[in-house]
Structure 1
């Protein structure tokens, strides 16, 4: 795990494409560069070495919202996370999540994230850090959810750093 650099943007875009993200949902290179440069956000990558070559196998980010949006409160939110499909189920998502939570814990007492109620894999992953449901809504942080219901999840980060 390491902080992302602007040099990682092409690898991030590649991971989004091989993960089957629809063209409209894949972020722009410039958007990723802005997120990486923003000191109020954490963007991390997971990388591995193969044949003496290092390459990115996953990435994740945070968002810092200073105002409430929809019914969701301000705070530090876990944002997108994507792992190359050939590296899934090996602990990469957990390591990326832990790195972001450590970053948030150095700045806030709680972490938040929003998720589709149908995304059991994400909900189960986040329970290991004590995330619990705060509320359900059809729209959270500007996101409308497939199936119509999203969850706002919250974790206390005391002792996480």
Structure 2
């Protein structure tokens, strides 16, 4: 199996919707609004949207399939303890392709992009999401605050955590 990480384009939106659906994160009713949000992120120059593609060495033809995606957000205005700045946004890898390093690769690429634009990368996550918190420790993310909402993002079953990581020295 071969994988590639690249910037998302509008024709990737159906594949991203499929990844979300396979992951149980998207209902039938939520597909169209989600697709519109992803298309907006792809076309926004202040954000980065990426896809992870997979191709089996056994599959004939040139086609790759979207098996993961990730994006960034840019907030122009602070919201309580959550400052304005560039944030890591959503990241989902299809269930059959997890534990293969795709989340690490998608996060590394997004952080490289953020650090080209800012000295600090920010990140909001559900406090119960231990896998995501552990993943982001490798880049030096540290907790800044906890709360029920940051930049309009709420958290199922509890608080969210706001984290920040500084650009590494050159």
> If the TM-score is normalised by the length of the shorter chain, which range does it land in?
over 0.9
List structure 1 segments (4+ residues) > 6 angstroms apart after TM superposition.
none
Map residues 1-161 of structure 1 onto 2, 5 A cutoff. 1-23=5-27, 27-50=33-56, 51=59, 52=61, 53-159=63-169
Larger Rg: 2
State the shift of 1:8 in Å.
0.2
Q: TM-score, normalised by structure 2?
A: 0.89
- In structure 2, how many angstroms separate the alpha carbons of the residues matched to 1:94 and 1:25? 27
CA distance in 2, matches of 1:144, 1:9: 24
How large is the Cα RMSD of the aligned pairs?
1.5
Q: Which runs of 5+ in 1 are unaligned?
A: none
Count of residues in correspondence between the two structures: 160
Q: Which runs of 5 or more residues in structure 2 are unaligned?
A: none
131 and 93 in structure 1: CA distance in 2 versus 1, 3 angstrom threshold? same
SS at match of 2:157: helix
CA contact (8 A) 1:5 1:36 kept: yes
